[in-house]
Chain A
């Protein structure tokens, strides 16, 4: 086994993993504020990609204008999804809520393909194909940029949660009855978290779209996102970031080791195995919240 190859895959894997974290952070944001596990996050990424392309290709706007417009559109869509579909389900059994997010997933995925078709379209954001060199290791430039953006988003989110509105959102996720009792508008808080999550999905769409084009496969990021979110603890944004790196490294190295043995495509298997192992061994993830017990 070539140790350099392994190292290289691990490093690139970590970068890709950070890009998975972007999807996972969207899931975590919504789960934190309303305990809704959003299985439509992947479809939201896909929709965001198509929306940006619609601005860029159909309205012939430059990308620097199309992306902010896409972010605004997705902000509104995020609020809309919460308002129309999930607000009335508050307090219903989890089976209904899961089914609802699955329904939204199908609707958004098939809906965007109905409008824009299923062929893969490029979303070039001007990152050159030539790799970066870190000593003898080759690093994919697009992954490096994506990982950098993911870390930046993470920092922004952490700072956001220190602001007054951010503190209010955290209060909602702690105890929404108590939040209500002090005059916090819980519905608006939850809607805001959906909106932020949709914005994060848009950024993920730009990065992933530039790597693999915009098509249905963006929705499949859901599996990666969910795995990372659960591994990180579902309600911890920092956990999502670290779990992304971890999953990325495991995936990267495993594909080097396992692909020759299994005849390719071992990544999906590794993801599924990580998800199952996490749930069986440590359901609250690496950094999930144990409820505080007073000492």
Chain B
């Protein structure tokens, strides 16, 4: 990605406020979109459905969490529970004959309504106390889902998700499911990209920086916190429903446990708070890391001819992923997004480094 441009020169506001003000970016985005659309043609279905698809869905989910964490600055340790609400809402709606298109909207709305409970916690407390109360809410929701048979379909139960049907057509092929995930991810990304340019986005940032200072200049911080939580919960709910519909095909409470919440948080932290491209990196990193790590370890053990216990192999990726969070916070707190930004800023004017200032 070389940018044939020395500095950014705009002659009117429309250019300056465009989504991608630099032509090279537009070309790159277009190219990536084309690649993504053509992916089923050249990728085998293993890569498509076990790597690319969950990455896209989790990116959408991470973007929703980033809205709360990065934009509105509110801690949320119960994000997976909100995704779970959406997933269960969609599956139950579908099982009762609601078409999938409507079911996922219902999923989003249910999640938004219940997820706004978190906003009421955010109204009263912030920082540490908000983190702890959202953590507690995660436990309450986990408990409710797994202990109310009407929701979970019985204790320790797995609820089969009906096939996705778009306009009456069943979508079962790998490519079809992949396109569903792709469309959702692109939708959320577009929304988040545009959020930066709207009054809502600016208000959220104002609330994040100092909520009472925002209140002084007329930003109703409670209203915007509520909107942020509702919007993010909507994205979470739909992402949860899409994840179940396209990837898991069945729903169990463990898919949305507190560990998953922490995993989502890790995606945002590793990717970078408030960074859209970072959410892509973060989700990919956290999702692919365990697998990559496993192959790396088995390569190492093969190389040096020793063997590791099955339990060691199972837990080592988790330990590394804890170490990664620690490492990122110590070395680059703004995550992969920031690293990408640094490289991009450098290349933007390369080889004329002095243009920068």
- Selected from B147, B314, B319, the residue in CB contact (under 8 A) with A263 is B147
The chain B residue with its CB closest to the CB of A284 is B129
In the complex, A166 has a CB within 8 A of chain B: no
- A265 neighbours in B (Cβ, 8 Å): 143, 147
Cα of A104 to Cα of B319 in the assembled complex, Å: 9
In the complex, B227 has a CB within 8 A of chain A: no
Cα of A100 to Cα of B201 in the assembled complex, Å: 27
- Selected from B125, B139, B312, the residue in CB contact (under 8 A) with A271 is B139
Cα of A88 to Cα of B331 in the assembled complex, Å: 10
**Do A95 and B69 touch (CB < 8 A)?**
yes
Task: Give the one of A95, A109, A117, A227 with max B CB within 10 A.
Answer: A95
User: Nearest Cβ in chain B — how far from A97, in angstroms?
Assistant: 9
Cα of A273 to Cα of B144 in the assembled complex, Å: 12
**Do A104 and B133 touch (CB < 8 A)?**
no
The chain B residue with its CB closest to the CB of A119 is B311
User: Nearest Cβ in chain A — how far from B55, in angstroms?
Assistant: 21
Cα of A223 to Cα of B128 in the assembled complex, Å: 14
The chain B residue with its CB closest to the CB of A85 is B326
- B75 neighbours in A (Cβ, 8 Å): 94-95, 98
**Do B143 and A110 touch (CB < 8 A)?**
no
Cα of A280 to Cα of B140 in the assembled complex, Å: 15
In the complex, A294 has a CB within 8 A of chain B: no
**Do B128 and A94 touch (CB < 8 A)?**
yes
**Do B325 and A283 touch (CB < 8 A)?**
no
- Selected from A37, A107, A117, the residue in CB contact (under 8 A) with B323 is A107
- B309 neighbours in A (Cβ, 8 Å): 117
Cα of A104 to Cα of B269 in the assembled complex, Å: 14
Residues of B contacting A: mostly: helix
- B131 neighbours in A (Cβ, 8 Å): 37, 98
**Do B133 and A279 touch (CB < 8 A)?**
yes
- Selected from A98, A102, A107, A111, the residue in CB contact (under 8 A) with B128 is A98
In the complex, B300 has a CB within 8 A of chain A: no
**Do A279 and B132 touch (CB < 8 A)?**
yes
Cα of A115 to Cα of B323 in the assembled complex, Å: 15
For chain B, residues 35 to 93, give those with C-beta under 8 angstroms from any C-beta of chain A.
69, 73, 75
**Do A85 and B330 touch (CB < 8 A)?**
yes
In the complex, B161 has a CB within 8 A of chain A: no
- A262 neighbours in B (Cβ, 8 Å): 147
In the complex, B241 has a CB within 8 A of chain A: no
- A155 neighbours in B (Cβ, 8 Å): none
In the complex, A272 has a CB within 8 A of chain B: yes
Cα of A271 to Cα of B311 in the assembled complex, Å: 31
**Do A100 and B125 touch (CB < 8 A)?**
no
In the complex, A174 has a CB within 8 A of chain B: no
Known: A269-B143, A276-B140. A110 touches B315 (CB 8 A): yes
**Do A110 and B322 touch (CB < 8 A)?**
yes
In the complex, B215 has a CB within 8 A of chain A: no
- A60 neighbours in B (Cβ, 8 Å): none
**Do A105 and B322 touch (CB < 8 A)?**
yes
- B136 neighbours in A (Cβ, 8 Å): 227, 271-273, 275-276, 279
User: Nearest Cβ in chain A — how far from B33, in angstroms?
Assistant: 32
The chain A residue with its CB closest to the CB of B69 is A95
Cα of A226 to Cα of B128 in the assembled complex, Å: 11
- 0 or 1 for each of A267-295: is its CB under 8 Å from B? (1 = yes): 01101110110011001000000000000
24 A–B contacts from the bound complex (CB under 8 Å): A37-B128, A92-B333, A94-B75, A94-B127, A96-B329, A100-B325, A106-B262, A106-B322, A107-B325, A111-B315, A111-B322, A113-B319, A118-B315, A262-B147, A263-B155, A265-B143, A269-B139, A269-B143, A275-B132, A275-B133, A275-B135, A275-B136, A276-B133, A279-B121
Residues of A within 8 A of B (CB): 37, 85, 88-89, 92, 94-96, 98-100, 102-111, 113-115, 117-118, 223, 226-227, 230, 262-263, 265, 268-269, 271-273, 275-276, 279-280, 283
Extra contacts, 15 of them, besides A98-B128, A272-B139 (Cβ < 8 A), are: A95-B75, A98-B75, A100-B325, A100-B329, A103-B266, A103-B322, A106-B262, A107-B319, A109-B322, A110-B315, A111-B315, A271-B139, A272-B143, A279-B136, A280-B121
Task: Sort A-B residue pairs by CB-CB distance and give the 9 closest, nearest first.
Answer: A107-B322, A103-B325, A106-B322, A110-B318, A110-B319, A272-B139, A113-B315, A275-B136, A272-B136
Residues of B within 8 A of A (CB): 69, 73, 75, 121, 124-125, 127-129, 131-133, 135-137, 139-140, 143, 147, 155, 262, 265-266, 269, 273, 309, 311-312, 314-319, 321-326, 329-330, 333
